Structure 1
Amino acid sequence: GMTKAAVISMTQTLAHELGGVGIRVNAVCPGLVETRFAQALIDNEEILEKVNDKSALKRHGQPVEIAGAAVYLLSDASSFMTGQSIVIDGGSTAN
């Protein structure tokens, strides 16, 4: 929604402003992931069913499924990447 759009816009703006001094700025944009923060949503069967139905994979994510993107962004493998947002949402935004 609006919050993710703001994060994406801020990521692009900061990447442009800070790239000249060697600072890369990227974002990880997860869908619903099983964390303590999201537990109330996951425990609500009605909400969980709606979220999972919207996902192409028909399920919510696990923290380990997001961690790989963070590891990549922190590694030298992403040294030519800046201003990008990696969406990891099980295909929810593909709908």
Structure 2
Amino acid sequence: MMTGPDWDFLLDTALMHHHMWTTGSFEQAAEVRLRVQKFGATPEDRSRLRVEIGTGLPESGTPRAQQGVTGSNVTSIDPERRARVAGQG
């Protein structure tokens, strides 16, 4: 999930939502609702899609493969770098 086309779909949806609220033109409201529903926006949507959201974080010593993280394009920022980026170090 969350491939390039997924992000494009969500970006298009966000633009439709923005246009709808900034212009007061709600003709696209049903389409926006359907698009948001496809990504499990509400607990009911997630139940229908059989998606479970975890509440806990994996233990820090567990290798990524055992955490169920595969092919992620998100890079973890170590505490030292995080402090530099935040301007605290």
TM-score (structure 2 length as normaliser):
0.31
Q: Pick the structure with more strand per residue.
A: 1
TM-score (structure 1 length as normaliser):
0.30
User: Whose RCO is larger (CA < 8 A, sep 6+)?
Assistant: 1
